[in-house]
Amino acid sequence: MIPLNTKPKGPVPSPFSAAQQATFDAGFTKAVAKYPPERSRAALLPALHLAQDLLGWLPEAAMAYVGSRLDIPPARVREVATFYTMYKLKPQGRHHIEVCNSVSCWAMGSEDLIKHCESKLGIHKGEITADGHFSLGEAACLAGCGYAPAVLINNYRYAEHMTAEKMDKLIEELKSAPGNKMADFPENKDTGRAH
Amino acid sequence: MAERIKILSKDWDKPNSWSLETYLASGGYQSLPKALKMQPQAIVDEVVKSNLRGRGGAGFPTGMKWNFVRKETMTPKYLVINADEGEPATFKDRAILEWSPHMFIEGLIIGCFALDCHLTYVYCRGEFRDGPIARCQQAIDEARAKGYIGKNILGSGFDLDIHVVSGAGAYICGEETALLESLEGRKGYPRLKPPFPANAGGGLWKSPTAVNNVETLANMPAIIEKGGEWFSSVGCAKNGGTRLFAVSGHVKKPGVYEAPMGITFLDLLNDYCGGMREGSTLKAIIPGGSSAAVMTAEEAVWASDFDTLKAKKTMAGSGGVVYLDQNTNMAHALANVMRFYAHESCGQCTPCREGTGWLSKLLDKIVSGKGEKQDIDNVHQISRQMEQKTICALADGAAMPAKSFIEKFRADFDALVKG
Ligand SMILES: Cc1cc2nc3c(=O)[nH]c(=O)nc-3n(C[C@H](O)[C@H](O)[C@H](O)COP(=O)(O)O)c2cc1C
Ligand code: FES
């Protein structure tokens, strides 16, 4: 176990496979190059994105490793990782579906769409299907309000003007796509956010 | 109807409107060489004359902000772009980044030259990675290959680097000082002001920094091409130019529409959005993102500029306009809005952290049918006590809808409670 509140003394082991390591290193070098040399800690958010893209979620081992690369103590990394909703602190389904439930989407029926997803997938918001293929959540406004209801898949893919039928089609399509493999690490113990 | 003036959306109907070829063919990158031959202060003077008001939400005069930064002696200076676009009902910066990224980039280069800034960041919300961010990055790469970005731009001796960086899902990071914290690699806790970002000690890495919205900068090529006076004449008093209105809700044709500053909400609805959809009649308007005080159907005749709406105790805000119809229960709508603020409060200030939580709980109780009259009064009372007590304006943005929904649509609340 890596202590959170102190700087690690020795080198922190990498959570990546050799192939993943090469991808991470290339992305990391590019991210750090965007900032003045003495400001490299600014690259924490992009580095966490990189790690999550490779592992599917952010286990503590990844937070500690990213911190060690930027000389940021694990507690500080955790503070950042837990603050932002795009960072997933526990494994998700291989396809993570988030339905926007802010005001414009709500006015256009997002709550019905969420209920439809729940019955279609047989899970509630915040849960993962038994086969690990899907998880479901709610998103805050995605800037797709005029194309409501808006849906976000796996953090980056937008599906807009959604209806129950279009949702069914999308779910069918995702069923046969491999999606994000969730790396096997012990789950973060306390995954609570401020709210 | 008079001919519509299009500044920002003039290329959107063209095929591949986002490409360099399309932008060049429609006269793009003509303002940049002109600006590079001007004195930087002369550019800012032109922006002052244009009466351009920031399009991020507060409507702050852009020329004035830029003069604050220019007056500072500390270097380096920064211009940081707010492309976080998180205010519910707002989706117009995304339209610029996806459909006219070069217009924004040209404006950004001009702005950096005016502020003597050599390194700039475009802070985009993380969810934009594969869409707007990809388009924006492509535009930057194309502009760099043409020599518009980099060392000694067009032989002027001016050097500039532009980087796109992404957030990770936090509405608060749209607040400019939270954005700077996040850009520096930390959680998005807004900073206590003063010092303001424009001042030494308050900006990016403590440097004097102008934080501006995407749409604000996208206006620069037109201001340089046609002059500040012309730009000012397009809008209404002290509100220069056009504005991108992001319209959603129960209208026939939701979408992003460019209209002169100060257009009334009724004209925006009928002349641009095709009116309310079949079977819908107008009940309420959210005029500038969900943080703005709500308006009634009768108030649709109000002008949409920053000063009119401020005088009417609401705000033009982010330009995100929601038209709601007769079937919308406003108590349920407010409960939805408040869940957003309770979720997005960063938790730094007690009145906001606790206040948004209480409001959300009370409203959920009211809409579940378990509420009492006193709960409605409590929501109103608590929201008044949250105003002007916190480091940033998120709490005020939660209080404004809470107060106004109850004041203007009390019957919807009363019908749900006992006693
Ligand atoms: C809670 C909160 C959220 C905000 N979100 C955004 C946003 O997403 N985009 C934006 O441009 N401005 C946002 N603002 C306004 C910014 O703080 C700032 O005023 C703006 O970026 C300045 O740019 P402008 O002068 O060009 O409008 C927000 C403000 C607050 C208080
Ligand atoms: S309200 Fe759903 S995308 Fe904005």
Q: What is the pLDDT of residues B375-412, one digit of tens each?
A: 999 999 999 999 999 999 999 999 999 999 999 999 99
Q: Which residues pair with B79 in a beta bridge?
A: B210
Best mutation site among A99, A105, A111 for ligand 2, i.e. most ligand atoms within 8 A of its Cβ? A105
Query: Is the alpha carbon torsion for B395, B400, B403, B409 positive or negative?
Result: negative
Residue A180 near residue A94 (C-beta atoms within 8 A): yes
Instruction: State the maximum Cα–Cα separation within chain A, in Å, rounded to a whole number.
Output: 55
Q: What pLDDT, on the 0 to 100 scale, is given for residue A2? A: 58
Closest Cα in chain B, distance from residue A192 (Å): 13
* Contacting residues for B234 by C-beta, under 8 A, at least 6 apart: B5, B7, B240, B241, B242, B260, B261
Model confidence, pTM: 0.97
Distance of CA B123 from the midpoint of ligand 1 (Å): 12
With 0-12 CB in 10 A as exposed, 13-18 as middle and 19+ as buried, what is B410? middle
Tokens of A191: 């995954």
- Which residue's CA lies nearest to atom 11 of ligand 1? B56
In the predicted structure, residue A194 carries a pLDDT above the cut 50? no
The rounded percent of chain B whose pLDDT value lies above 90 is 99
Least confident of A15-24, A169-178, A182-191: A182-191
Give the tens place of pLDDT for each residue, B18-69: 999 999 999 999 999 999 999 999 999 999 999 999 999 999 999 999 999 9
Tokens of B195: 């010092």
In the predicted structure, residue A4 carries a pLDDT above the cut 80? no
Average pLDDT estimate for A42-53: 98
The amino acid that residue B347 corresponds to is G
Q: What is the mean pLDDT of chain A?
A: 94
**Residues 42 through 61 of chain A touching chain B, CB cutoff 8 Å:** 42-46, 48-49
In the predicted structure, residue B205 carries a pLDDT above the cut 50? yes
Residue B184, number of CB atoms within 10 A of its CB: 16
Cα distances from B236 to residues B84, B226, B259, B295, in angstroms, run 28, 17, 12, 21
Q: Give residues (CB < 6 A) around ligand 1.
A: B 54-58, 60, 82, 84-87, 172, 174-176, 211-213, 216, 392-394, 397
In the predicted structure, residue A190 carries a pLDDT above the cut 70? no
Strand spans (E) along chain A: 95-100, 134-139, 151-153, 157-159
Query: Is the alpha carbon torsion for B254, B258, B259, B264 positive or negative?
Result: positive
Q: What pLDDT, on the 0 to 100 scale, is given for residue B418? A: 86
In the predicted structure, residue B101 carries a pLDDT above the cut 50? yes
Q: What pLDDT, on the 0 to 100 scale, is given for residue B222? A: 98
Q: Model ipTM?
A: 0.97
Give the tens place of pLDDT for each residue, B324-350: 999 999 999 999 999 999 999 999 999
Backbone angles phi, psi at B309, to 5 degrees: -70, -30
Give the tens place of pLDDT for each residue, B282-321: 999 999 999 999 999 999 999 999 999 999 999 999 999 9
The amino acid that residue B76 corresponds to is P
- Which residue's CA lies nearest to atom 24 of ligand 1? B54
Cα angle B241, B247, B251 (rounded to 5 degrees) comes to 135
Residue B401 near residue B294 (C-beta atoms within 8 A): yes
Q: What pLDDT, on the 0 to 100 scale, is given for residue B77? A: 98
Distance of CA A182 from the midpoint of ligand 1 (Å): 35
Q: What pLDDT, on the 0 to 100 scale, is given for residue A189? A: 73
Helix (H, G, I), strand (E, B) or coil at B124: strand
Q: How many CA atoms lie within 13 A of B64 on its CB side?
A: 8
In the predicted structure, residue B90 carries a pLDDT above the cut 70? yes
Nearest by CB: B169 against A85, A108, A158: A85
Give the tens place of pLDDT for each residue, B155-182: 999 999 999 999 999 999 999 999 999 9
CA-CA-CA-CA torsion for B264, B266, B268, B273, nearest 10 degrees? 180
Domains and CATH numbers, chain B: 20-234 (3.40.50.11540), 242-325 (3.10.20.600), 330-414 (1.20.1440.230)
Average pLDDT estimate for B248-261: 98
Q: What pLDDT, on the 0 to 100 scale, is given for residue B230? A: 98
In the predicted structure, residue A30 carries a pLDDT above the cut 70? yes
Average pLDDT estimate for A21-43: 98
The rounded percent of chain A whose pLDDT value lies above 70 is 94
**Cβ of B343 and A140 within 8 Å?**
yes
Average pLDDT estimate for A89-104: 97
Give the tens place of pLDDT for each residue, A59-78: 999 999 999 999 999 999 99
d(C-alpha B42, C-alpha B48), whole Å: 10
Q: What pLDDT, on the 0 to 100 scale, is given for residue A193? A: 52
**Cβ of B90 and A141 within 8 Å?**
yes
Tokens of A177: 């796509």
Distance of CA B4 from the midpoint of ligand 2 (Å): 28
Residues of chain A neighbouring B163 (CB-CB closer than 8 A) = 34
